Chain A
Amino acid sequence: MSGAGGNAPGSEQAAYTGRLTRRSFLRGGLGAAGGLAALAASLNPLRELDTSELTVEKFLQKHYKEMTADEMEGVLARIRTEVEQRYAVRPELRDIKAMDGVEFAYALHLGRCIGCRRCVHACVAENNQSRSPEIQYIRVLEMPRGSVDIERGNHHYDRPTVPDAGHYYMPIQCHQCANPPCVKVCPVEATWQEPDGITVIDYDWCIGCRYCEAACPYWARRFNFTSPQIPNEQLNPNMSYLSNRPRRQGVMEKCHFCLHRTREGRMPACLEVCPVGARKFGNLLDPDSEVAQILRTKHVFVLKQDVGTLPRFFYYFDEDYPRSHAGISLPVLQPHDVGGTR
């Protein structure tokens, strides 16, 4: 660019003998400048790359299952520092392993749910989901009575009060399938099923290909299209590596039955906030647990049974007995009704 223009006059002959004419210089220079500028522009997004997050130890971090206890401690310490820098909150980050002899299951009483969405927002508050753009694990469908066609469900309902007489409500979240299609399609094994039945994601191993999102028949997985936004004061400092630690842009996330709570014996956040007691949680392997008794004694069904995912999330409802004293009649129960169906 610093050349002082064509020093030869613009004779036709000059161009063909390789000499630099004004015309060829301008043509070549313009093309070269344009190409360089386009190259620079195409690399422009690199300016937005946050290299502060790109460290050697992060790059060399192993898969969750391959890490030794010491390595995990180092990773946890690093994540604690990162979270503290970003949110100004010192998290209680742990890596909680599955308990022995425990297989978690969830049961939801469809006749009870009133669709108040308390569970949805308790989940967001507990699990540090992005507030903007919005990520929610639980979807509450408002369904017309007399239909179980979830295509007719509406999760944008906006009524002054719920429940509505013509509808019932069906919350859907990750079903923690025993035969999970999302795990099968993951090309990097960033998601897997734990011994207690919870399908988890290693957020540091996920490459964000979203195959699992496409594979899930329950629309339970969410993708962080942008960097999740969480107000500092709303960050839940009780975290674990596989559950609710803050995610980054470009990774999947989903319900994990609040494993940082449930693996310590506590109930999931969505259950505790449910005002009507529609949600039940417990250990399937313990015959005296609430879910085990519900599965034995109530009318239970799973969603999309035909796809063969074997969910650990069950919907149940009461057997038909009179609830009103209008025209008193004793319940006429057949023996097979009383025994419950499964």
Chain B
Amino acid sequence: MPSKRSQAAPTRHGQPARPLTGWFVGPIFLALALWFGIGPQGLALPASTPTSVDRSVLTTAPRRTALSDPPTVRIDGFDRTCMSCHRMFPPREVPASKLLQHRHIALAHGINDRCHNCHHDDDRDLLVLRDESTISFGRVVELCAQCHGPTYRDWQRGAHGRTNGYWDAHYGEVRRLGCTECHDPHQPRVPAMDPLAPLPGPQALRAPAYDVHDDHIFITRDPLRRQALRGHVETIAPSPAANSAPVEVFDEEEE
């Protein structure tokens, strides 16, 4: 380096104040080196709480436990069936308001509001079809199918209901859940399922940024633009369809 400068230097011969070229390069490099050396190590990512989910929440079990066949209840260490008690009582239709037992059952099944529409008159361990033939509790699907034809058809095809296990019976058991493993036969709901608490949402950066309390206010998904637009959020007027709450999602789109 000195030799190079010595070649260039004669042009500036005799100048008392030399330009400071080179003098500031070293300190800048040193400062940079110091910064890189003892400065922050690597890129500090925004810290996020990992949403580790308890595996017990991720159950694959049915949401309801269907009654066994025949239904049993454990009383004083003994398994009792319905007929353990009911064989002592004459069968008669009692209005729900006058029931002394089974008061916890609130029958809310539309116009199907008589116990003995489904339960057999004499043998309470069985169910009864509309043609007065009896079936066991294990075959309750056939009972439901009498009225819920389209749903039963979809269930047979696999379009309705849950299927767990294997996707082909060739490889293992295809477990298709029955009606009462999701629905309470005494109070099937519309919509049919109970609400659930959602598991934690994602904490990814690149995502549409909505105001979680108002779906109609949203900001652009680009984080830089979002920063620039701070305070100038766009407001989208709610669509008229969003106000009504139809049961079917796509009523409007269907032709």
A residues with a Cβ closer than 8 A to B are 15-18, 20, 24, 27-28, 30-35, 37-38, 40-42, 44-45, 48, 109-112, 114-118, 120-122, 124-125, 131-134, 136, 139, 142, 144-148, 151-163, 165-168, 225-226, 229, 231, 234, 262, 264-267, 271-277, 280-283, 286, 289-291, 293-294, 297-299, 316-321, 323-325, 328, 331
Contacts and interface: CB of A to CB of B under 8 A. Distances in A.
A24 B2 contact: yes
B28 A34 contact: yes
The residue among B157, B242, B250 with the most chain A CB atoms within 10 A of its own CB is B250
B208 A153 contact: yes
B9 A38 contact: no
Contact of A114 (B37, B59, B193, B246): B193
Contact of B193 (A142, A276, A290, A321): A276
A145 B58 contact: no
Given A116-B196, A117-B198, A289 B168 contact: yes
Interface string B5-39: 11001100100000000110111111011111100
A118 B254 contact: no
B196 to A, nearest CB: 4
Contacts of B218: 152, 154
- A-B pairs with lowest CB-CB distance, top 7: A265-B171, A146-B241, A34-B29, A290-B158, A41-B36, A37-B33, A277-B162
24 contacts: A18-B6, A111-B249, A114-B196, A117-B198, A144-B215, A144-B238, A147-B239, A148-B253, A155-B208, A157-B198, A157-B212, A158-B198, A163-B191, A262-B167, A266-B166, A266-B167, A267-B166, A271-B163, A273-B60, A277-B182, A283-B168, A297-B157, A299-B250, A318-B159
A52 B157 CA distance: 54
A323 B160 CA distance: 14
Contact of B172 (A33, A132, A266): A266
A132 B49 CA distance: 8
Contact of B241 (A32, A145, A321, A331): A145
B201 A282 contact: no
B13 A298 contact: no
Contacts of B236: 152
Interface in B209-255: 209-210, 212, 215-216, 218, 236, 238-254
A234 B168 contact: no
A277 B23 CA distance: 74
Contacts of B30: 30, 33-34, 37
B146 interface: no
- Judged by DSSP, the binding face of B is loop
The residue among A139, A156, A168 with the most chain B CB atoms within 10 A of its own CB is A156
A157 B253 contact: no
Interface residue range, chain B = 35 or more
A145 B246 contact: yes
Given A41-B32, A265-B171, 4 more contacts: A38-B36, A125-B58, A155-B202, A289-B167
B36 to A, nearest CB: 3
Interface in B182-204: 182, 190-191, 193, 195-204
A40 to B, nearest CB: 7
Interface string B48-90: 1011110101111001000000000000000000000000000
B95 interface: no
Contacts of A111: 248-250
A148 B63 CA distance: 29
A32 B157 contact: no
A290 B163 contact: yes
A116 B199 contact: yes
Contact of B51 (A20, A30, A134, A280): A134
Nearest to A281: B167
A87 B236 CA distance: 48
A16 B215 CA distance: 76
B2 A18 contact: yes
Nearest to A107: B159
B99 interface: no
Contact of B242 (A48, A139, A145, A151): A145
B165 interface: yes
B100 interface: no
Contacts of A145: 241-242, 244-246, 249
A15 B252 CA distance: 89
Given A109-B159, A266-B171, A34 B212 contact: no
B106 interface: no
Contact of A147 (B171, B210, B242): B242
B196 A317 contact: no
B33 A265 contact: no
Contact of B1 (A32, A116, A163, A317): A32
B111 interface: yes
Contacts of A153: 208
A139 B201 CA distance: 9
Given A114-B195, A134-B48, A145-B249, A318 B33 contact: no
B132 interface: no
Contacts of B193: 112, 114, 275-276
